[in-house]
Amino acid sequence: MITFKQYCINEGKLGSMLGAGMVAASSLYGDFAKDWSKHYQTSNNPDKENRARQVVNKGYNVPADAQRAIQIAASIFDGDEGKTKQQLIEYLRHTGAVESGYRTTVQSGGGPARSYWQVEPRTAMDLVKNSSAFFGKKFHVQFGKNALRNAQTWDEKKWSIGLERYPELGATMAAAKWLASNWQD
């Protein structure tokens, strides 16, 4: 693999401009589409990866409620599993764009996933029960002293309602899903 600098020298000025555009469109922290396919969507499907790349490269708008939710989730998990707040912000922004286009909080076709980040209630239930170490002090400061204990008692219906209505809960569960996946950049 050649470096970006070598690529620029080889391709000349036009190549430099195109190369810069490609670098700007990709993730600062790795190949988001490949990471999303393997760790979030879990299909490892090249066609879905290409669609994800197209969504990210095309650009997208993040609504204010989702921006706020992303900031909250990234602050809660900043430093967990070696991920920075900025890495989490980038991946959550892209995840919402790819999963829902920030147009809906209900999975199309009648599926169970909810929130801009399309988290399934069963996934959220599993996260709070089996990955509870992620939900520490910063989680409790944001959601309340007994938030984890309460969330561990929720059934699928309660999770469905919570994920759909509260973007900060959806973003937090999406971030936890990323972290629990052993995602490496």
Percentage above 90 pLDDT, the chain: 81
- pLDDT > 50? residue 5: no
Separation CA 105–CA 173 (nearest Å): 14
Angle at 113 between CA 94 and CA 168, to 5 degrees: 60
- pLDDT > 70? residue 99: yes
How does pLDDT run across 110-130, given as a tens digit for each residue?
999 999 999 999 999 999 999
Q: Which residue has the tokens 């920075």?
A: 84
In which band, very low, low, confident or very high, does the pLDDT at 109 lie, cut at 50, 70 and 90?
very high
What's the length of the chain?
185
Which helix H or strand E contains 115, and what residues bound it? none
Q: Which of 68, 59, 157 is nearest to 116 (CA)?
A: 68
Q: Which residue has the tokens 């969504």?
A: 55
HSE, side-chain direction, 13 A CA sphere, residue 59: 3
Domain map (residue ranges) of the chain: 1-28, 61-180
Q: Report the sign of the C-alpha dihedral through residues 56, 57, 63, 65, in that order.
A: positive
Q: Which residues contact 125 (CB under 8 A, 6 or more apart)?
A: 154, 155, 156, 159
- pLDDT > 50? residue 3: no
Q: What is the pLDDT of residue 64?
A: 99
